[in-house]
Structure 1
Amino acid sequence: MEGATSRARSRAARPAAVTAAVLAGAALLAACGSSGTTAVASTAPVERATISVGVSGAGTMAASSSRNLGFAAGGLLTSVDVQVGDTVTAGQVLARIDRFQLEQLVVQQKANLSSQKAALAKLENSPALQGTRNTLAQARTIRNATSSQVAATKRADRVALSRANGALNSAQAALAACTTDCASLQAAVVSAQTAVSTAEQTLKVATAAGKVSVASAEQGVVTAQNAANSAASDRPYTIAQQKAAVTTAQSLVDVAKHNLSLATLKAPFDGTVTAINGAVGEYLTASTGTSAEAPGTDAAVPGTTVVAGTSTTTRAGGTQFMVISATGPMTAVVPFQELDAAGIVAGQTTTLTFDALPDVTTTGEVTAISPAGTALGGSMSYLVTVSLDTSDKRLKEGMTVHATVATEEKKDVLSVPNDAVRTENGQSVVTLVDAAGAQRTVDITAGLVGPDRTEVVSGLAEGDQVLLPTSTTH
């Protein structure tokens, strides 16, 4: 894309030397007349016209929308269903890469999802919490039974002690009443005393053993209670954790399915295949390239440079596997030097011509201008996007286009040909020719000066005839 632009400067003041040139022309005419040359005078009417001035630049044609296509993961290219130049519709299959590994990954992730769901079901239906509650209830029953047994044993031992004390009292009373041959009564007292001691010891031992049994049963209750509390507390969090694992597994399945779908390349919109860089059986790398878009549109800036070794070549589509350009009106992308770009705004009318189609001249409208400049040819240029008013099918991407943007325009204003206007003493004048052929110089106020006509602000009326420079015929 050439970056050079030229400014149409139609407002430049006409030099005072124009008058001298006219006089010299008149002298030359007289000389020519003496040698058989005929002077031809002509006039032009003052009429209304559209006058515009603008800036010009050379750029490149581009599709209204272009997309670089490829495979996200790369792989072995197994089929290409289109050719360069084919017209495709949105959603149409363009190419495929090998799906085996991607399909196996889907199988693996589905199996993992099933495993995580089974673990969740196991947690949700687990009897562990109810088991801990049953264990707690049983521990409480054992504690209560142990307490009852200890209490009964203590009561029995107290009764036995009471009886032993009663027997001792009876033996002692009998001994006290004895007057002769009391040896047997003394033995009975000793035996009763021994029984009391035994009963007392039995009560102490039973009391101590009862305390241990009750404490052990109580500890069983505490342990069972802690287990039940822990199970009740952990259950919702454990289930929530497993649900999260199921969600993660599901997302991995979705990702695997998505990656599998990307193994089939489809057209994103209706368009034409403009480049294919790959053949069946070749391994494609993951697509990472992006398109540089023209300002204000989806049109890609034409021209991609690919560097191979030490040489630089241009290849359609650059490094992308496939490029599709949208059908429909074309777009012109034109760089303008910064001085010219300063006067360009969206909506301005543009005239376009083409090197490859010299018979085609069309108009368009500035769509957008880039806010940032690009260094082209040693100067700063700004890309301007122009939408075309024609859909001529002969226009193709990459064609050179010459664009003239009307930076100032006045419609339906009085005007005369530029050649009719001259400057005398710093004043714009014309030669007015009346119906009888009489001539007189008239001062005018000139306005906008276009490529071929000059606006007349005052000094002339529509329909007036002004003299044009004299031409000669032999």
Structure 2
Amino acid sequence: MAEAQRRKDQAQRAVAASTITAPAAGFVESVNTAVGADPSCEEPVVVLRADELQVESSIDAATLAKLRVGQQALVTVPDARARGMTALEGLPTSAVTPGSRDQPVSGEAGSDVLGAYSREGEGDRTAGLGGQAARYLMELRLPVPPAGVLPGIRAEVTLTLDSRDHVLAVPPSAIHHDREGDYVLVLQCDDIEESGECRKSVPVRTTVRLGLAGDRLTEVISGLAENDSVILPAPEK
């Protein structure tokens, strides 16, 4: 009896001194076995997830053509009020079929790609997939996720493809297109009072040459001067 008790005490000390090591670094998401219960082979005792996260998004062909391995990307997570930097470790190699479960959906898990792109080669953005614009799946690793960022949360990815300093720029909604090219409507005075003040202004079509186009502003290389009054469309109700 004393020998059995000794073995029991020895076994308990061994259990107390033992350490369970996970096969990979990460976080414990759930514990499915109560203390003292016998674990079952049908259900994991502990569910882990990796401490590294991945952002999935899709980009168009024109943007893909301007990406390069190692390019820096800013990942912003609005719900967590967090942001972090990462880099492209590889370029997309296949298109995302419209309507597939792998295609990121705006407002759900996935992300939106932001950034500037050149208008040159813009026609390539409509290739393939039954006449619909081709999209390519892009994956970005976050080796050190910002605090508060969890799997499934929505993120925004900003890729700076090119940049210009000290340029004239207008909102994209101000730009119109027809067979003659790109143009904006500029207010010009049609009736000047003797005092020199303008009594009446009229919209005048002004041809412009465009450069980089971003989400909020489009560069105007020529056709406009600083302080020109460009007409914007009325906001939708």
* TM-score (normalizing by structure 2): 0.50
Match of 1:442 among 203, 206, 210: 206
Change over 3 Å in CA distance of 1:448–1:350 after alignment to 2? farther
Per-residue deviation, 1:419: 2.2
Aligned twin of 2:194: none
Counterpart mapping for 1:373-392 below 5 A: 377=101, 381-386=137-142, 391=147
Per-residue deviation, 1:388: 8.4
Per-residue deviation, 1:446: 0.8
What SS class does the counterpart of residue 230 from structure 2 fall into?
strand
Say yes or no: does 1:427 pair with 2:181.
yes
Say yes or no: does 1:469 pair with 2:225.
no
Q: Is the 8 A contact 1:364 1:389 kept in 2?
A: yes
Q: Within 1, Cα distance between the matches of 2:88 and 2:236?
A: 49
Match of 2:30 among 275, 285, 296: 275
Say yes or no: does 1:365 pair with 2:112.
no
Partner amino acid for 2:86? V
Q: Is the 8 A contact 1:447 1:455 kept in 2?
A: yes
Q: Between Structure 1 and Structure 2, which shows a larger proportion of helix residues?
A: 1
Q: Is the 8 A contact 1:273 1:325 kept in 2?
A: no
Match of 1:397 among 150, 153, 156: 150
- Stretches of structure 2 lacking an aligned partner (at least 5 in a row): 1-8, 104-135, 190-197
State the percentage of identical aligned residues.
21
Per-residue deviation, 1:414: 1.9
Counterpart mapping for 1:299-378 below 5 A: 319=44, 321=46, 323=48, 332-337=53-58, 342=64, 343=67, 345=69, 346-353=71-78, 357=79, 363-369=83-89, 377=101
Say yes or no: does 1:417 pair with 2:188.
no
Counterpart mapping for 1:68-467 below 5 A: 100=11, 263-265=18-20, 273-282=28-37, 319=44, 321=46, 323=48, 332-337=53-58, 342=64, 343=67, 345=69, 346-353=71-78, 357=79, 363-369=83-89, 377=101, 381-386=137-142, 391=147, 395=148, 397-406=150-159, 408-412=161-165, 413-434=167-188, 436=198, 437=201, 439-467=203-231
Q: Within 2, Cα distance between the matches of 1:464 and 1:323?
A: 59
Change over 3 Å in CA distance of 1:373–1:397 after alignment to 2? farther
- Stretches of structure 1 lacking an aligned partner (at least 5 in a row): 1-97, 104-259, 286-306, 309-317
Per-residue deviation, 1:445: 0.6
What SS class does the counterpart of residue 225 from structure 2 fall into?
coil
Work out which of the two has the higher radius of gyration on C-alpha atoms and give 1 or 2: 1
Aligned twin of 1:138: none
Q: Deviations over 1:430-468 (max 9, x none)?
A: 222246335432221111223342211122223221122
Q: Is the 8 A contact 2:75 2:83 kept in 1?
A: yes
What SS class does the counterpart of residue 466 from structure 1 fall into?
coil
What SS class does the counterpart of residue 441 from structure 1 fall into?
strand
Q: Is the 8 A contact 1:277 1:320 kept in 2?
A: yes
